[in-house]
Structure 1
Amino acid sequence: MLTQLEKAEQRWGGANKLIDQWLTHRRKLLIQYFTLAGLAPYTRAEKSLPSINDVQEFCAQLVDYVSEGHFEVYDRVVSECATHGPESKAIAQSLLPKISDSTDTALDFNDKYTESEDDKVLYQLDKDLAQLAQAMESRFEYEDELLEILHSRHS
């Protein structure tokens, strides 16, 4: 996922302030994910579960990222595509439901880990992080398609 992000930053970085901000937020989310999951290059020093507070901080960043896409970025990108013709708008709009599929996974993860009062929920963290990673990887691919439409047709 970090490699794909680096490609996205190289391809679209500097083209638009909103896109730059969005990719920066994606990078922060991924770094926090890798740290939480104990994955290289951000492995934890100790081989123990992260604290519930660390998980909840990640949840806050996850919800912020998902919300930013839905409430700030996607509409602006689709609107920009619409100014360049109905075909571009239609393609962009067709990606939004695909992106939204991962929103439910992210919000379910958030709810599970922010509403739990029992630290034993952390025993399920690895499995839940793996499911979240699959959903977010798909999301990032669709988001990148959206950016590619905007960039290739309208820059």
Structure 2
Amino acid sequence: MLESCKTAQERWGGVHEIIDRWLEQRRQLIEALMYLKGCKTFSGSDTEKVQHACDMLVDYVSAGHFTVYEQLAIEAKEFHDDDSILLLRKLLPLIENTTEVAIEFNDKFGIKDHSASQLESLSFALQALLVVMAERFQHEDLLIKELHEVHSEKVPEE
């Protein structure tokens, strides 16, 4: 029994570290986006900051899809938790919708040179992105709570 607890701690502790790193990425992303939101107007000199925020956005979204959600799905399956799997199936499409908005934002603003009209539309697009990302963060927090925290003290069924 002690060995299975040790194995479970090693296994799920690794998932916990992945989630912790990802949530730190989220914090840094929010700071970058809020900095941009605080800018009243944008000029060509802001291009580097906008690009950096876009890079962080794509990195965060990618880590969610290609690392975190996969680990949470594996965890739900290993614990034979049908409710968690159903929640995952319900929330992933909602998160995917926010991914499309994030990618569109990156495609439009994650470039080296911005036109005057792009810079004029940045504030409005940024505000819309922040609303969508807040929704995404709520869905992700629910996934973490229901698919990881619930299982963190348990040993998977054999």
Tell me the residue number matched to 1:148.
145
Tell me the residue number matched to 1:5.
none
Bigger radius of gyration among the two: 2
Tell me the residue number matched to 1:100.
96
Shift of 1:117: 3.8
TM-score by length of 1: 0.79
- Which has the higher relative contact order, 1 or 2, with Cα contacts under 8 A spaced 6 or more apart? 2
* 2:105 paired with 1:112: no
Amino acid at match of 2:99: T
* 2:16 paired with 1:16: yes
Equivalent residues of 1:79, 1:89 under 8 A apart = no
Shift of 1:55: 0.6
- Taking the aligned partners of 1:97 and 1:48, their CA distance within structure 2 comes to 34
Relative to 1, partners in 2 of residues 1:134 and 1:48: Cα closer, same or farther, differing over 3 Å?
A: closer
- Taking the aligned partners of 1:21 and 1:110, their CA distance within structure 2 comes to 22
- Taking the aligned partners of 1:147 and 1:118, their CA distance within structure 2 comes to 37
Percent identity, aligned pairs only, is 37
Partner SS, residue 49 of structure 1: coil
Describe the superposition over 1:66-108 as per-residue Cα deviations: whole angstroms up to 9, x where unpaired.
0000011101111101111233222222211111110010000
- Taking the aligned partners of 2:88 and 2:137, their CA distance within structure 1 comes to 14
Partner SS, residue 42 of structure 2: coil
- Taking the aligned partners of 1:88 and 1:76, their CA distance within structure 2 comes to 13
- Taking the aligned partners of 2:20 and 2:119, their CA distance within structure 1 comes to 33
Shift of 1:150: 2.1
Equivalent residues of 1:78, 1:93 under 8 A apart = no
Equivalent residues of 2:77, 2:85 under 8 A apart = yes
TM-score by length of 2: 0.78
Number of residue-to-residue matches in the alignment: 135
Tell me the residue number matched to 2:8.
none
Amino acid at match of 1:90: L
C-alpha RMSD of matched pairs (Å) = 2.0
Partner SS, residue 143 of structure 1: helix
Which one of the candidate residues 56, 66, 70 is aligned to 2:65? 70
Tell me the residue number matched to 1:12.
none
- Taking the aligned partners of 1:152 and 1:53, their CA distance within structure 2 comes to 38
Relative to 1, partners in 2 of residues 1:115 and 1:31: Cα closer, same or farther, differing over 3 Å?
A: closer
Tell me the residue number matched to 2:135.
138
Structure 2: where are the runs of 5+ without partners?
Answer: 1-14, 153-158
- Taking the aligned partners of 2:149 and 2:68, their CA distance within structure 1 comes to 17
